[in-house]
Amino acid sequence: MRRFQIKICILLCLGAGLLLPGCISSRVWNWGNDGPEIEENYLREESELSKLENPMLVPVRDRNLLWNILVDTMEDYFVIRHEEQIQLVGNTLTEGYLQTAHADAATMFEPWRKDNAPGFDQLHATLQTIRRQAEVHVRPSRDGFRLEVIVHKLQEDLAQPEHATVGGATLRHSASHSRPRDFGALRTETLGWIPAGRDSALEQAILRDLQERMADLQIPTEGPPKDSSGLNPLGPIQFPSLGNSNLGLGN
């Protein structure tokens, strides 16, 4: 009997120890409807982040160099499926287009992948089946080119969670007297992949990456190349020594 009382006292002490921090932390009760201070800081920092324009102006004249940088950058995020490079037809530059293949979004257990912005998007992709596809439009302009990055976000509609223990032919036990006549496998129609809008966070990440690569190159944007036709790149012409420089002409 005494051992049983000792066990009860130990359990009560453990329970009081677990509940005591929640009772004495007055900051929790002072939050009210505003939420914790940390969440407010996160929201404030996110709103203060400068967002790049989409489409973004790139002051680059060399279309081939621009396209190589674009392809190299997009390959860090997705697998390229189709591309139409900028071409010069007569005196007009055509619009460039790049499309990537669909890819399952990176989860929280894949931090090395860049196709998903950290934070909520990674958590969402961990709990749901999400995939993305990117498109890039390159339009010529007077000051260079304009890059428009579009990332489509899709969510899969499933009849039940994957690896679920409940079978699809399980019947409902309700109070209604009607019963299905077909006791075979019940087929459930799903919507497949549902469009979930655009992923603006990943679009901004791709645009920042492109902007940094363009800035590191220090590409000249205006002005023709300097005329160096008057200079000899080989320097002054020098003749080999023939021994006697006068060649017997002085006498």
DSSP 8-state code for residue 171: P
Region 165-190 average pLDDT: 57
DSSP 8-state code for residue 191: -
| Among 188, 181, 182, CA closest to 158 | 188
- Residue 84 has a pLDDT of 92
Q: Write the pLDDT tens digit of every residue in 217-242.
A: 655 444 444 554 555 555 554 544 54
37-41, 180-184, 222-226 — which is least confidently predicted?
Answer: 222-226
- Residue 108 has a pLDDT of 85
| Arithmetic mean of pLDDT over the chain | 73
Domains in the chain, start-ordered, CATH in brackets? Answer: 49-159+191-218 (3.30.530)
Q: Per-residue confidence at 205, pLDDT binned at 50, 70, 90?
A: very high
DSSP 84-146: E---EETTEEPPEEEEEPPEEPP-TT-TT--SS-TTHHHHHHHHS-EEEEEEEEEEEETTEEE
- Residue predicted with more confidence, 110 or 168: 110
Region 3-31 average pLDDT: 59
- Residue 27 has a pLDDT of 45
Model-wide pTM > 0.75 = no
Place of tokens 């089946």: 129
DSSP 8-state code for residue 132: E
CA–CA distances in Å: residue 161 to residues 127, 158, 182: 10, 7, 24
- Residue 249 has a pLDDT of 46
Q: Per-residue confidence at 178, pLDDT binned at 50, 70, 90?
A: low
81-95, 159-173, 178-192, 225-239 — which is least confidently predicted?
Answer: 225-239
- Residue 29 has a pLDDT of 46
